[in-house]
Structure 1
Amino acid sequence: MDLQDQLKNLFPDHVAEETETNQNVSDDLWLQDDPILCKYEKRKGKPITILEGYTGAAEDFKALAKELKKKLSVGGSFKDDKIIIQGDYRDKIMQILEDKGFAVKRVGG
C-alpha cells in the first residue's frame, strides 16, 4: 500500500488536486535574438563560468540559473544580471541552452 492509498483510507472525502510537479522551466522563458555570452574566468585560482547578456526578465534568468545548477549539480549564484557557475562547464551549459532554443556565444579561451 503506497502513500496515496493510505491517505485515501484516512480521508475518504478529500478530492485530490492534479498538480504538475515536473514543470519545464523553458516553456515560459523569453527567447531573445542576441546570444547569451558564456565566459570562463579564474577567481582566487578557481575556475568559474559566467553567463551574461540576457535581456528578458530577471526572474526568468534566476529560474534558468537554478535549473542549470540543478542539472550540473554544482554551486553558483545570480548577481548583477549574471549567472556565475562554479567550475568550467562551458560546453555543457552551451549544449543545455542550445537545446532550450537560446543562441549562445563562447567568449574567451
Structure 2
Amino acid sequence: MADDNDDGLGSVSGLPDELGIDDDLARADQRATVRVESRRYGKPMTLVEGLDPKAVDLTELASQLKRALAVGGTVEDDRIELQGEHAKRVPDLLRERGFEVA
C-alpha cells in the first residue's frame, strides 16, 4: 500500500513498503468469522466472512486455505466458501496468516 505521493513509505505505518508492515496491519485490523452452513443435499460448507476485500486479496487467501485443507471452494459475495466442515481448523489457519478470528 503505497502513499499517494509514492515516496516508498507505507500509507498506514509510514515505514518503508518493503518491510510489509502495512499488509500486516491491514490483516490485524480484520476480524473474520467462521461458520458452517448446510447446503444442497445436507453437504456442509464452511464460510469465512467479515474480511474487507479492499484490504485483503480474498482470492489468494481462499487459494491458500483450499490448498491447506485439500478442498474445493470459491469466493462469492465478499466471503470465502470452502467445501466441507472445517470450523475447527480454519480459525487456526487464519491466525497463522495474521488475521483475528471472532
Normalising by the residue count of structure 1, what TM-score does the alignment of the two structures yield? 0.64
Which secondary structure state, in structure 2, belongs to the residue aligned with residue 36 of structure 1? strand
Please say if residues 49 and 85 of structure 1, whose CA atoms lie closer than 8 Å, have aligned partners that are also in contact.
yes
Structure 2 partner of 1:33:
29
Which secondary structure state, in structure 2, belongs to the residue aligned with residue 67 of structure 1? helix
Q: Matched residues in 1 for 2:67 and 2:50: separation?
A: 21
Measured on the aligned residues, the alpha-carbon RMSD in Å equals 2.1
Match of 2:95 among 91, 94, 98: 98
Normalising by the residue count of structure 2, what TM-score does the alignment of the two structures yield? 0.68
Ranked by relative contact order (alpha carbons within 8 Å, sequence separation 6 or more), the top structure is 1
**Which runs of at least 4 in structure 1 moved beyond 4 Å after TM superposition?**
none
Larger radius of gyration: 1
Q: Matched residues in 2 for 1:37 and 1:51: separation?
A: 6
Residue identity opposite 1:76 in structure 2: G
Match of 1:57 among 54, 57, 60: 54
Could you tell me the percent identity over the aligned residues? Answer: 37
Residue correspondence of structure 1 range 1-80 to structure 2 within 5 A: 28=23, 30-44=26-40, 45-57=42-54, 60-80=57-77
Q: Matched residues in 1 for 2:37 and 2:55: separation?
A: 23
Please say if residues 28 and 98 of structure 2, whose CA atoms lie closer than 8 Å, have aligned partners that are also in contact.
no
Number of equivalenced pairs: 79
1:85 aligns with 2:101: no
